[in-house]
Amino acid sequence: MLAMAAAPLAALPASADTRSLAAGLETDEDFTGDIDTVISATRIRQPLTESPSSITIIDRDTIIASGAIEVADVLRLVPGIQVAYPQGNQLAVSYHGFGDAFPRSMQVLIDGRSIYQPSFADVDWLFLGIVLEDIERIEVIRGPNSPLYGSNAVSGVINIITRLPWQDRGTAARITAGDLGTRNGMLRHSGRHGALDYRVTLNYQQGDGLEGDSNSTNDGRRLSGVSFRGLWNPRPSDEFDIQLGHAAGDLGGGAEPQHDPPPHDKQVSSDYEFVSWRRALPDEAEFRWQLYHNGYNSDDDYRDLLSHAYNIPPAAIPLLIPGQADQLADFGLFDYRGQRYDLELQHTSPASSRLRTVAGAGIRLNRLKSEVLTNRDDWIDEWSERVFVNLAYHASDRLRLNFGAMGEHSDKFGAYLSPRIAANWLFDPQHSVRLSYARARRTPSLVESQFNNVHELDDGTPYLIDFIARDPEPETLTSVELGFTGYWLKRRLLLDAKLFYEKTDDRIRFVEDLALQQPFPAITPVIPIHVLVNDGYTKVAGAELQLKYQTGPRDFISYQVSKLDTDLIWSVQLNPDLVLRQPENVAPRYTASLLASKTLPHGFEVSAAWYHISNMVWLGDGDRIQGYKRTDARVARRWRSAGSDMMLEAIVQNTGNDYITFRNENLFETRAFLRLTIDFR
Amino acid sequence: MWLMCLLLLTGQVRAAGILLVASSGAELYDRFIASFTASLPAGEFGPDSTKPTIVHLDEHVLTRNDLAASELVISVGTRAARAVASLKPAIPVLYTVIPESVYRTLVTPGGTCATHSAIFIDQPLARQAALARSLFPAAVKYGVLLGPTSIQRQPEIDALEQMTGRELVVSVAGHEDEIIRTSSRLLYGIDLLLAVNDPLVLNRENAKWLLYAAYQRGLPVIGFSRAYVTAGAAGAVFSEPEQMARQAAEVVQRHAGAASNCLPAAGFPHYFSVAINQSVCSSLGGASCDEEALSALLTSGESEK
């Protein structure tokens, strides 16, 4: 018996537990080993009832139900936001009005990467580098949020959070076809290699632009892109997020009204490289480091004969520009390159159950190179540094205090501080009122600060001046808001309402300076020189409300409405006799939207959206447009075939009458699309 | 040998002492052993063996000879449990720090007097539910995601539904690849999720998936390990090695003084801790995020039963 007992037992290999996992066997390490930490993509996570700002969350179900074809489409569901098409291949998104073709007062982030452009401070919604299918949700912080997100977050923050690679294992494809020559395709593969979860997405977009253009503007698109996201967890407490993307294509170059060029394209490309390292520290603290680069190239090298561009006989050119014959000249305004490099460190610590802090610092380099926009052939750089801190304090069971401040310094605009303080009173965890005060500054974009749009002939002779920057200073926004957030019916019903007042001082705008004379006035008698200056202030007072009722797991109805009263005081009138546009209704008095979605038996889904915007004026090249009502509808069916999940959608946008978008020539007609998504499991 | 067997049959564990078999020299097992050893009164187990014999499997190959010199074996960890069980010991064995599912595969249930027992490392779902109730009293629909292994806990879930008055919504996935889809559907219809380990479906390799999905929807997750809390669960109940060691020492002392050789029935650990992720708890509107208060509340709640 002893001899039998002495039979040795082979020692198990050291990797037994790992193999057990693969073999589907439990071990005690399942209960004691570390697991990867889940970290929010947002700086600080709070319940809506305790947030210092109003937030609209557009989740994936909402995105799908909306029938959106473009990312910016879904933002119509945010109270107070206006979305328009300056051209068929350009989208403008503004909040509380005052928008032109390049709205530039909202910070837009993708997974923490700021994507508004250093050139115009706007966002090219076609070249985001991601596709709609990659988005998990969009959080729109309505109201100034510079204390957390920096100088461009004056009127709000659009925080786009993409899906994590492991949320979409396998391969998927989507094709969309429909009106306006729309032919879109997407192919995505997600997988895992060791501790790396990755996703690669290819996409292609093609469209003819707005069909209702009376001047047949060339505003189509043909672009393709590739993006990569990898999440690597070398240890459970460490996560590296690596994102790369490149997109390139041809966009119709539109038509400058005074030039009326024949159709020509501009070649646009964008790329980004992003890496972040997040470490979960003891006591729920977190350290994050991120570095990224955005690049954007717009090659608009259209050339035309002077005589054709100005519609005058060739023989007249030497008379109008002495010593010069009719000749080809550059007319592409959007010929520029922009770059951004950004490094940021952030530390998040709960500190205690009553006080949570987020603090960090960053450094940024914005670069612009554009001879046509700046009359310089070198790179123009702006260096800025920032430090920020935010404190969320549980003063009592019912009172929450939020204090935040960001200090920024720019080598072009000096130092400034953006503070915010908010107090939330909780009647109970589901209902609260909020009072907040914030000041925020928006620094001029590099184009705004360096604009020197002088048209020159090939020999360097300047013959026309369009725009000149006259040292604009940052705009300053002061905001006060009173908000209410409440849940009912077991949190299925959410109501968020706020009253607000905003005043923006030192508005940056173009004014015509008749004291300045064109180099050759004879050729351009009616083209004044615009100077970019700080001019007066604007006020917006209003109310916003959003209501969402979740009637089932994927069924809901949401309603959003805003009322805006605006007031403009222009203090500088360089040309009081020649005001091309009286800027009234620069924000629509009313915006409203409604979205309802219902799942039906046999995999069917139906949803309908309704949007309303009252009369408003788009600034810049925009026009005073009539208010409109628009209804979209979507019918979809999901089914399973040959091991794959299928979804076929029929989408109709604007089932009613055509409406004008951005300018009178741009008609938004009824559009219909078919979209097929195949998820190969 | 016959003398030893006679002693065993009467439960008189005295001279030969206790053999502690640990899976390795990892800190977790060392903490158990140190705590267990310190809990034993000196001399309790005879003048010749005031301290247990300790074997680390990463340093020593376990043989029947090791068992022959012992009267009671305590395995610490899954690997140790498998090693001990493979020798089919005739002496009493207390398996500790072991998942219930592993124990069920190693040991055939005995009759009324079991010589094999276990202190599982799993936590009873009722305990997780008690924490859930204290943290989020308004939550009425609890979700549970089960897999091929954890489906064995279905009876426990059924009993829990009766006991708590909460609705338990159960989804079953067959494989890891199904977790995203299955959990997505599950998360739509619940107020809170009770995490249950399953090696094929929900394990520490992919727990972040579920945590993230729940986090996105603002749903609290109640876990069964401190790691869950660190990773983003609102709270968790779990047993520290010292707490399981304390219970093991109590079992051994009762066994030493008992007239019979029977060990108590295998079961969940009696002693436990509560951990709360302060950020997640407060951001999801937890009624109380005080670990000590919650721990005391749950402990007193269990002792009243």
Using a 10 angstrom Cβ sphere, with 0-12 exposed, 13-18 middle and 19 or more buried, the burial of residue A211 is: middle
| Cα–Cα distance measured from residue B150 to residue B182, given in angstroms and rounded to the nearest whole number | 15
Q: How does strand A355-369 pair with strand A336-349?
A: antiparallel
% of chain B residues with pLDDT over 70: 90
The reported pLDDT for the residue numbered A574 is 53
Residue A463 has pLDDT above 50, yes or no: yes
The reported pLDDT for the residue numbered A577 is 47
The reported pLDDT for the residue numbered A186 is 97
SS3 B81: helix
Q: A212 or A403, which is more confident?
A: A403
Nearest to B224 among A31, A34, A47 (CB): A31
| Cα–Cα distance measured from residue A626 to residue A668, given in angstroms and rounded to the nearest whole number | 12
Please give, rounded to a whole number of angstroms, the shortest distance from the CA of A421 to a CA of chain B.
19
Nearest to B212 among A31, A34, A38 (CB): A38
Cross-chain residue pair B99–A10, CB shorter than 8 Å: no
Q: How does strand A604-613 pair with strand A537-550?
A: unpaired
Give the range among A243-252, A366-375, B174-183, B261-270 with minimum mean pLDDT: B174-183
Residue A442 has pLDDT above 80, yes or no: yes
| Cα–Cα distance measured from residue B167 to residue A266, given in angstroms and rounded to the nearest whole number | 60
The reported pLDDT for the residue numbered A431 is 93
Residue A498 has pLDDT above 50, yes or no: yes
Could you identify the residue written with the tokens 């939207």?
A593
Give chain B's mean pLDDT: 84
The reported pLDDT for the residue numbered A642 is 86
Q: A265 with A250: CB under 8 angstroms? A: yes
Q: B3 or A208, which is more confident?
A: A208
Using pLDDT thresholds of 50, 70 and 90, give the confidence band for residue B260: confident
Residue B44 has pLDDT above 60, yes or no: no
Give the tokens for residue A267. Answer: 């070649």
Give the residue from A21, A34, A38, A491 with the most B CB atoms within 10 Å of its CB, the best one to mutate: A38
The reported pLDDT for the residue numbered B13 is 46
Cross-chain residue pair A5–B65, CB shorter than 8 Å: yes
If you average pLDDT over residues A119-140, what whole number do you get? Answer: 90
Give the range among A213-227, A295-309, A604-618, A645-659 with minimum mean pLDDT: A213-227
Helix residue ranges per DSSP H, chain B: 2-10, 27-39, 64-68, 78-86, 100-106, 125-135, 154-164, 179-188, 207-216, 226-231, 241-257, 278-283, 291-303
Strands (E), A208-285: 221-235, 238-252, 265-280
Residue B112 has pLDDT above 80, yes or no: no
If you average pLDDT over residues A537-558, what whole number do you get? Answer: 91
Q: A328 or A98, which is more confident?
A: A328
Write the ipTM.
Answer: 0.79
CA distances from A152 to A58, A158, A363, A417, B207 (A): 21, 11, 15, 13, 37
CA distances from A52 to A78, A374, A496, B233, B285 (A): 18, 40, 13, 24, 16
Nearest to A284 among B82, B86, B278 (CB): B278
Nearest to A9 among B61, B68, B228 (CB): B61
Q: How does strand B221-223 pair with strand B192-194?
A: parallel
Which neighbouring-strand residues pair with A201? A188, A227
Q: Is the backbone of residue B101 left (phi > 0), alpha (psi -120 to 50) or beta?
A: alpha
Could you identify the residue written with the tokens 């788009």?
A618
Contacts of B188 in chain A (CB under 8 A): 553-554
Which DSSP symbol is given to B24? Answer: S
pLDDT for A149-159, tens place per residue?
887 788 899 99
CA angle A537, A543, A546 (to 5 degrees): 135
Give the tokens for residue A295. Answer: 């690049």
The reported pLDDT for the residue numbered A257 is 47
| Cα–Cα distance measured from residue B116 to residue A60, given in angstroms and rounded to the nearest whole number | 52
% of chain A residues with pLDDT over 70: 89
Integer-rounded Cα radius of gyration of chain B? 21
Residue A36 has pLDDT above 70, yes or no: no
> Got the DSSP string for A536-603?
-EEEEEEEEEEEEEE-SSS-EEEEEEEEEEEEEE----S-TT--S-----SS-SEEEEEEEEEE-GGG
Strands (E), A399-536: 399-410, 414-428, 431-442, 452-456, 462-469, 475-488, 493-505, 508-512, 530-534
Measured in residues, chain A has a length of 681
| Cα–Cα distance measured from residue A519 to residue A529, given in angstroms and rounded to the nearest whole number | 11
Q: Which of B303, B246, B214, B234 is nearest to B275 (CA)?
A: B234
The reported pLDDT for the residue numbered B93 is 93
CA angle A647, A651, A653 (to 5 degrees): 160
Q: A386 or A237, which is more confident?
A: A386
Contacts of B232 in chain A (CB under 8 A): 37-39
If you average pLDDT over residues A418-441, what whole number do you get? Answer: 93
Q: Which of A75, A66, A60, A71 is nearest to A184 (CA)?
A: A71
Residues 6+ apart with CB under 8 A from A457: A321, A324, A327, A329, A463
Give the residue from B79, B180, B184, B239 with the most A CB atoms within 10 Å of its CB, the best one to mutate: B79
Q: How does strand A399-410 pair with strand A113-114?
A: unpaired
Using pLDDT thresholds of 50, 70 and 90, give the confidence band for residue A260: low
| Cα–Cα distance measured from residue B20 to residue B54, given in angstroms and rounded to the nearest whole number | 5
Contacts of B282 in chain A (CB under 8 A): 353, 356, 394
Q: Which residue of A has its CA nearest to B204?
A: A35
Q: Is the backbone of residue A414 left (phi > 0), alpha (psi -120 to 50) or beta?
A: left
If you average pLDDT over residues A279-299, what whole number do you get? Answer: 88
Chain A with chain B: Cβ pairs closer than 8 A: 176
Give chain A's mean pLDDT: 86
Residue A643 has pLDDT above 70, yes or no: yes
Give the tokens for residue A121. Answer: 């401070």
> Which H or E element spans position A61?
helix A60-66
Residue B49 has pLDDT above 70, yes or no: no
Cross-chain residue pair B99–A356, CB shorter than 8 Å: no
Measured in residues, chain B has a length of 305
Q: Which residue of A has its CA nearest to B97?
A: A28
Across the beta sheet with B235-238, the strand order is B167-172, B141-146, B192-194, B221-223, B235-238, B273-276
The reported pLDDT for the residue numbered A587 is 87
pLDDT for A318-335, tens place per residue?
888 888 899 998 888 889
If you average pLDDT over residues A181-203, what whole number do you get? Answer: 92
Which neighbouring-strand residues pair with A347? A287, A359
Nearest to B78 among A4, A27, A45 (CB): A27
Could you identify the residue written with the tokens 């605006």?
A566
Nearest to B188 among A34, A429, A554 (CB): A554
Using pLDDT thresholds of 50, 70 and 90, give the confidence band for residue A411: very high
Residue A589 has pLDDT above 70, yes or no: yes
If you average pLDDT over residues B230-238, what whole number do you get? Answer: 90
pLDDT for A102-127, tens place per residue?
888 889 999 989 998 888 888 999 99
Cross-chain residue pair A553–B65, CB shorter than 8 Å: no
Q: Model's pTM, two decimal places?
A: 0.80
If you average pLDDT over residues A443-459, what whole number do you get? Answer: 90
Contacts of B215 in chain A (CB under 8 A): 38, 40
Cross-chain residue pair B83–A166, CB shorter than 8 Å: no
Contacts of A34 in chain B (CB under 8 A): 204, 227, 230-231
Contacts of A24 in chain B (CB under 8 A): 148-149, 199-200
Give the tokens for residue A250. Answer: 């041809």
Q: Which of A538, A633, A114 is nearest to A343 (CA)?
A: A114
Q: A387 or A36, which is more confident?
A: A387
Using pLDDT thresholds of 50, 70 and 90, give the confidence band for residue B4: very low
Cross-chain residue pair B64–A5, CB shorter than 8 Å: yes
Q: B133 with A64: CB under 8 angstroms? A: no
Give the range among A47-56, A444-453, B45-54 with minimum mean pLDDT: B45-54
Using pLDDT thresholds of 50, 70 and 90, give the confidence band for residue A194: confident
Give the tokens for residue B180. Answer: 């995203």
Cross-chain residue pair A137–B216, CB shorter than 8 Å: yes
Cross-chain residue pair B58–A20, CB shorter than 8 Å: no
Give the residue from B166, B282, B284 with the most A CB atoms within 10 Å of its CB, the best one to mutate: B282
Residue A223 has pLDDT above 50, yes or no: yes
The reported pLDDT for the residue numbered A604 is 96
Give the tokens for residue B60. Answer: 């020593």
| Cα–Cα distance measured from residue B10 to residue A577, given in angstroms and rounded to the nearest whole number | 113
**Amino acid making up residue B284:** L
pLDDT for B130-182, tens place per residue?
999 999 998 999 999 999 989 988 999 989 888 888 899 999 988 777 777 78
If you average pLDDT over residues A72-95, what whole number do you get? Answer: 93
Contacts of B101 in chain A (CB under 8 A): 26
Instruction: Return the top range by mean pLDDT from A259-273, A343-357, B10-24, B25-39.
Output: B25-39
SS3 B30: helix
Give the residue from B205, B217, B284 with the most A CB atoms within 10 Å of its CB, the best one to mutate: B205
The reported pLDDT for the residue numbered A292 is 97
Cross-chain residue pair B64–A4, CB shorter than 8 Å: yes
